[in-house]
Homo-oligomer: A and B are copies of this chain.
C-alpha cells in the first residue's frame, strides 16, 4: 500500500575534473555526497569521474540521467577556459546556453556592475530552462536542469549548494544500518554470514576487512529499510561473532 512512499530514490554523482584524475587534487566530494544522500534516504548507486572534455561529460551525464532519479555533478562551473560543464550540460540536453538574466543580476549585485568582467560573466552562462541553485559562499550559482544538479567543485561551495537544493529533492524511505565490529579475520565468519544473508533476504549484509596494527579484523554492516528486519539480522550476526570467538 505504501509502494509510492517506499520506492527507492536513486542517484549518481559525476565528478568533473582533470585534477582529480591526475592525483593533484584529492577528491573530498564523493564521501560528502554519499553521506548526505544516505542521510536523506536517497541511494547513491554510481559515481563517475571524467576529465574536462566535453564529449566525455556529455556521454556520462546522458548515461547517468537516464539511469537514476537524480544526478549530481561537481566541478567545472568557474570563470576560466577549462570550465566547460555548463556548455556540456546544454549540449547533453540539446538546449541553448547564454548569459542568464537571473544569474547576471546575482553577480552584478556581488561584484558591482563595473567589476563584472567578461570572465566573470561566463559564470552566468546557464542552459535554457534551468533553475538556479543558490551559492551562499561565492555567489556564482549552480543550476538544475531536468534531474541533473550542477554544482561547483570546491568542497565548501559544493556543500553550500547541496544544502540549498536538498529541500527540493524527493526522498525515499531511509536505509537503516547497524555496524558490528568483530575481532576476527573475515574468513572466520564467512560461512555463517552467507547463511545469515540467505535467512534474511530483505537485508544487505556487507563484510569489510580492516587492518588494525597489522591484525585483520572485520566490520559487518547490516542494512535494511525496516527496523525489525534489521534488528533480526543484526542479532544473528552478533550471535555468530560471539560463538565464533568462543571457539578460538
Please determine whether B27 and A23 come into contact, CB atoms closer than 8 angstroms. Answer: no
Please determine whether B51 and A49 come into contact, CB atoms closer than 8 angstroms. Answer: no
Q: Does A193 contact B (CB under 8 A)?
A: yes
CB within 8 Å for A34 and B21 given contacts A122-B190, A206-B82, A210-B154 = yes
Per assembly, the copies of the chain total 2
The smallest beta-carbon distance between A151 and chain B, in angstroms, is: 13
CB within 8 Å for A22 and B223 given contacts A47-B48, A79-B190, A154-B210 = yes
Residues of B within 8 A of A122 (CB): 190
Q: Does A207 contact B (CB under 8 A)?
A: yes
CB within 8 Å for A19 and B221 given contacts A30-B27, A179-B24, A197-B81 = yes
Max count, chain B CB within 10 A of own CB: residue among A36, A175, A208? A208
Q: Sample 23 A-B pairs with CB under 8 A, ordered by A number.
A: A18-B206, A19-B208, A19-B221, A21-B44, A21-B46, A21-B47, A22-B177, A22-B223, A24-B221, A30-B49, A46-B49, A48-B48, A78-B190, A78-B209, A79-B187, A80-B186, A80-B189, A81-B207, A117-B187, A117-B190, A119-B188, A120-B187, A123-B187
Chain A residues within CB distance 8 Å of chain B: 15, 18-27, 30-31, 34-38, 43-52, 56, 78-83, 117-120, 122-123, 137-138, 154, 156, 175, 177, 179, 186-191, 193-194, 197, 204-211, 216, 221, 223
